[in-house]
Structure 1
Amino acid sequence: MAGKASGKPRLLSGGNPQIPKGDGDAPVQAYLDAMPEWKREVGLALDDLIVRTVPDVRKAVRWNSPFYGIEGNGWFLSFHCFTRSVKVTWLNGSSLDPLPPGESKHERVRYLDIHEDDKLDEKLIATWIGQAAELPGDELV
């Protein structure tokens, strides 16, 4: 298959898996399976936490990133592999309390960078997930 070596998706800059656009859990699982090294553990933990917090979450892959949303309410979260971090994008993050730490040039967006040795604050992240899922999301993806 084009773009694949040994049956695995090609890794783009920063180790981000190249996964075709698709809706549902299958393309998200393909992305998670292809995440390199420690980043895969972070991705699996995020996906699990999102599903536990929002059982009816909608999933898709867009722009080589998994997206999570609520049907009819838009997308609220995505993440992406970079060389030294997994960047969680809160698409409505400026409305979360407390604010996620990373600022964006986009007024509504906030970020959380997770590095290799970081311990996930599951309680805080679950709080953000729950809040974000209840707010209007982004339908542009």
Structure 2
Amino acid sequence: MAGNKEVVLLSGGNPQIAKGDGDRPVQEYIAAMPGWKSAAGKKLDALIVATVPEVEKAVRWNSPFYGVPGQGWFLCFHCFNKYIKITWFRGRQLDPVPPVGSKDPDARYFHIHEDEAIDEELLVSWIRQAAAIPGWISHAKDKAK
């Protein structure tokens, strides 16, 4: 829990974590993810860090964001009632293309469900590919990084 303060869960059980840069707010978010989602969030965070050791982290819009310094964000994730949604900001450029479409023609989604086996090799491949492509820049502050 963030600073010994009870974390509010928003719609779908998504933790409400203040916007912040670095690992601390991301770890607060992951710790506050309800039920099985916290362990899945820890695993996802560990895979990202192992695959992209120089990864930058932040919490924006109540979601952990991951990026490469100077390149922008390549993924974020968000809790929903029955799954965790990973957003690949340039997902259309990944091979294979993640399965779930978006209103944004560049973005693609991948959902993690409870008790569903995850193809970690595929997930690591997507992480590696996504980190190698110029990512999504959300605003002027992110452009300066």
Indicate whether the TM-score tops 0.5: yes
Q: How many residues align?
A: 137
Paired with 1:101 and 1:39, the residues of 2 have a C-alpha distance of 20
**Match for residue 15 of structure 1?**
13
1:101-125 Cα offsets, whole Å, 9 max, x none, are 0001101100001111111211000
Of 55-64 and 112-121, more deviation after overlay is shown by 112-121
Paired with 1:20 and 1:7, the residues of 2 have a C-alpha distance of 12
Q: Which amino acid aligns with 2:80?
A: F
Q: Which amino acid aligns with 1:87?
A: K
**Match for residue 131 of structure 1?**
129
Q: Is 1:49 equivalent to 2:47 in the alignment?
A: yes
Report the 3-state secondary structure (helix = DSSP H, G, I; strand = E; otherwise coil) of the residue aligned with 2:39: helix
Paired with 2:87 and 2:43, the residues of 1 have a C-alpha distance of 15
After superposition, residues 1-141 of structure 1 pair within 5 angstroms as 7-140=5-138
1:48-104 Cα offsets, whole Å, 9 max, x none, are 000000000000000000000001000000000000000000001000000000001
TM-score by length of 2: 0.92
Q: Structure 1 residue 8: deviation in Å?
A: 2.5
1:5-43 Cα offsets, whole Å, 9 max, x none, are x72210001110000000000000000010000011111
Q: Point out where structure 2 has 5 or more consecutive residues left out of the alignment.
A: 140-145
**Match for residue 143 of structure 2?**
none
Report the 3-state secondary structure (helix = DSSP H, G, I; strand = E; otherwise coil) of the residue aligned with 1:89: strand
Q: Which amino acid aligns with 1:16?
A: N
Q: Which amino acid aligns with 1:102?
A: V
Q: What's the C-alpha RMSD, in Å, of the aligned pairs?
A: 1.2
Paired with 1:113 and 1:61, the residues of 2 have a C-alpha distance of 19
Paired with 1:118 and 1:61, the residues of 2 have a C-alpha distance of 26
Q: Which amino acid aligns with 1:129?
A: I
Paired with 2:98 and 2:109, the residues of 1 have a C-alpha distance of 6
8 Å contact from structure 1 (residues 8, 34) kept in 2: no
